[in-house]
């Protein structure tokens, strides 16, 4: 089992429990850093190969990425019970639910969706001049997801911006040759975040609301 211990030894030798579900938690950052060290080199290599006209992505690579997301989820799950307030439980439960739902969306039964997301990074790269202004809505694709995983931003901080970013992508990519496919692929991924982190139905008739639906956890 992939577990990061949430215990530190104080200078006097006493064991002290580290709260693992707040932005300054060392244990939480260890979980994320281990994930980034595993996945980023592989993903960066793939993105570079796409730009050079080569595809270096095989099913075992996709399976590894899925396993790393599952390990991140398990690592975060090992910390959530150390939340000490309702505010921490509420925010951390949302985060755990987001990671679990993202893993299910990308990796459940097949890795086809994950492969689509990675293949469309090339289109998003070529479309940068067209979608640059979308980040002015308050959501930056390269930064915000890390801030979410580090608990540096809350749904109230970013959910409206996330919905605006999705709308902006659809508008700006419409005249790009690969834009229709990328709009579908990344729009669906953003929808997973909206539904599972923001608890929001992003249909035009739905108002922005932040209702908390507790995630279900099982212990081994």
**132 belongs to a structural domain:** yes
**Residue among 130, 213, 132 at smallest CA distance from 179:** 130
Residue 101: pLDDT band (50, 70, 90) is very high
Instruction: Specify the higher pLDDT residue, 11 or 21.
Output: 21
d(CA 199, CA 172): 26
**12 belongs to a structural domain:** no
d(CA 159, CA 21): 20
| Whether pLDDT at 61 is above 90 | no
Q: What is the pLDDT of residues 108-133, one digit of tens each?
A: 888 999 999 988 988 888 898 889 88
**29 belongs to a structural domain:** yes
Residue 38 is predicted with a pLDDT of 79
> How many Cα atoms sit within 13 Å of 197 on the Cβ side?
28
**217 belongs to a structural domain:** no
**196 belongs to a structural domain:** yes
> In which domain, by residue range, is 98 found?
24-207
d(CA 98, CA 197): 5
Total domains in the chain come to 1
Average pLDDT over residues 151-165: 89
Q: What is the pTM of this model?
A: 0.76
**72 belongs to a structural domain:** yes
Residue 140 is predicted with a pLDDT of 82
**52 belongs to a structural domain:** yes
Instruction: Specify the higher pLDDT residue, 141 or 159.
Output: 159
Averaged confidence pLDDT in the chain: 77
State the angle between helix axes of 112-119 and 26-51 in degrees (0 to 180), rounded to the nearest 10: 70
| Whether pLDDT at 25 is above 70 | yes
**14 belongs to a structural domain:** no
Q: What angle do CA 107, 112, 114 make, to 5 degrees?
A: 55
Average pLDDT over residues 185-210: 71
């Amino acid at each position: 089992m992939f577990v990061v211990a949430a215990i530190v030894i104080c200078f006097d030798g006493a064991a002290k429990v580290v709260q693992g579900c707040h932005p300054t938690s060392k244990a939480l950052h260890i979980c994320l850093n281990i994930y980034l060290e595993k996945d980023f080199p592989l993903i960066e290599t793939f993105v570079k190969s796409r730009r050079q006209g080569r595809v270096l992505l095989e099913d075992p690579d996709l399976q590894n990425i899925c396993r790393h997301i599952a390990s991140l989820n398990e690592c975060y799950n090992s910390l959530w019970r150390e939340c000490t307030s309702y505010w921490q439980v509420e925010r951390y439960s949302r985060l755990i639910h987001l990671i679990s739902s993202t893993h299910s969306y990308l990796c459940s039964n097949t890795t086809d969706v994950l492969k689509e997301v990675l293949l469309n990074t090339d289109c998003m790269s070529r479309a940068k001049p067209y979608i640059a202004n979308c980040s002015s809505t308050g959501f930056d694709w390269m930064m915000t997801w890390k801030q979410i995983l580090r608990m540096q931003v809350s749904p109230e901080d970013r959910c409206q911006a996330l919905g605006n970013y999705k709308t902006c992508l659809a508008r700006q990519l419409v005249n790009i040759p690969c834009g229709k496919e990328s709009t579908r692929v990344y729009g669906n991924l953003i929808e997973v975040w909206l539904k599972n982190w923001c608890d929001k139905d992003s249909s035009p008739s739905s108002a922005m609301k932040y209702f908390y639906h507790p995630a279900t956890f099982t212990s081994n």
